[in-house]
Amino acid sequence: MVEAGLRSIELLQFVSDRTGRVKVVKAGQVRSILWLRLFQLATKAEHLESITEIFPQWRESGKSFSALEAEIFLLQFVSDRTGRAKVVKAGQVRSILWLRLFQLATKAEHLESITEIFPQWRESGKSFSALEAEMFVRRCEELECPLLALKVFGDHPKYGFGLTSFSAARNLLHSLYEKYPVENTVAAASLFGVYKLPPVTSEPACSAMLYAACVRSKNRNAGLLTQQIYQHLG
């Protein structure tokens, strides 16, 4: 831990000397990937604060930060300020930061990293909004990882993220019913009841998606469910 902190300080000085309008060291260029390394090496909140002090120099050099760099920094920022034992006591994390994190994610792995700090949000006595549920489901579908959304909403005791939006639940069904085994679609449909949403059969679109998933399956139980849905639609 101490060694990582020292490496962070050395790398921070390296970047600082080579950025800004007036560079201490003229030779060589600072590669963007060094920011990712700096964020990874930070072991204390003070390290991140020191890193932010040279952000203006990067801008003065005519450079900008990538979406991945912004995501990693913001993820660390949120992580340090949530949970029972906060690394940083001062300040509060606004709910809107979750929407920004979801937007910045460009890979399924990024969303998985974000879900790892969901429990800390719950431990802070906070909850997720319907809008955040909708955005999370949408990004999981766009990044082709709807099973991650199903896992999170299916384990509320762990993640504390409720499927509190009918729109989000409908979109979760949509992301699963064509490409994944029927068991996943049925599991998503069961969440309507778990989170006290209107029944999945209360809307034709949801009923149709569940019906289509069951029809394609050779599972006997899915066949029985198909008959029940058909009778309801009739």
> How many helices (H) and strands (E) would you count in the chain?
15, 0
Asked whether residue 149 falls in the same domain as residue 37, the answer is no
Domain boundaries, position 180? 65-233
- The C-alpha atoms of residue 91 and residue 38 are separated, in whole angstroms, by 23
Position 17 in a domain: no
The length of the chain is 234
In a domain, 152, yes or no: yes
Examine the domain organization and report whether 114 and 218 are in the same domain. Answer: yes
Locate 229 and state its tokens: 């849905």
Please, what is the end-to-end C-alpha distance for the chain in angstroms?
A: 65
Residue 9 lies in a domain: no
Residue 123 — pLDDT band, cuts 50, 70, 90?
confident
pLDDT, one tens digit per residue, over 67-96 is 656 565 566 656 665 655 554 454 455 667
Of 39, 136, 129, give the one whose Cα is nearest residue 78: 39
What's the confidence (pLDDT) of residue 122? 86
Together in a domain, 70 and 162? yes
Q: Is residue 18 part of a domain?
A: no
Task: Note the pLDDT of residue 20.
Answer: 52
- For residues 43 and 88, state if they share a domain: no
Domain final position from 36, 64, 92:
64
Question: Same domain for 79 and 131?
Answer: yes
pLDDT, tens digit (0-9, with 9 covering 90-100), for 36-59: 666 666 666 666 666 666 667 666
Region of 27 on the Ramachandran plot (φ > 0 left; ψ -120 to 50 alpha; else beta):
beta
Residues 16-43: b if buried by 16+ CB within 10 A, e if exposed: bbbbbeebeeeeeebeeebbeebbebbb
Q: Does residue 53 or residue 3 have the better pLDDT?
A: 53
CA distances from 77 to 51, 117, 209 (A): 12, 11, 39
Q: Which of 33, 64, 95 is the last residue of a domain?
A: 64
**Taking the CA of residue 15 as centre, how many other CA atoms within 13 Å lie in the half-sphere pointing to its CB?**
26
Q: Which residue has the higher pLDDT, 106 or 233?
A: 106
Residue at 151: amino acid letter: K
Question: Residue 139 in contact with residue 103, Cβ under 8 Å?
Answer: yes
How many domains, in total, are found in the chain?
Answer: 2
In a domain, 6, yes or no: no
Position 56 in a domain: yes
Give yes or no: residues 59 and 133 share one domain: no
| Alpha carbon distance 171, 159 (integer Å) | 20
Is 173 in the same domain as 134?
A: yes
In a domain, 117, yes or no: yes
Which of 64, 91, 115 terminates a domain? The answer is 64
pLDDT tens per residue, range 159-185: 999 999 999 999 999 999 999 999 999
In a domain, 178, yes or no: yes
User: Do 47 and 147 fall within a single domain?
Assistant: no
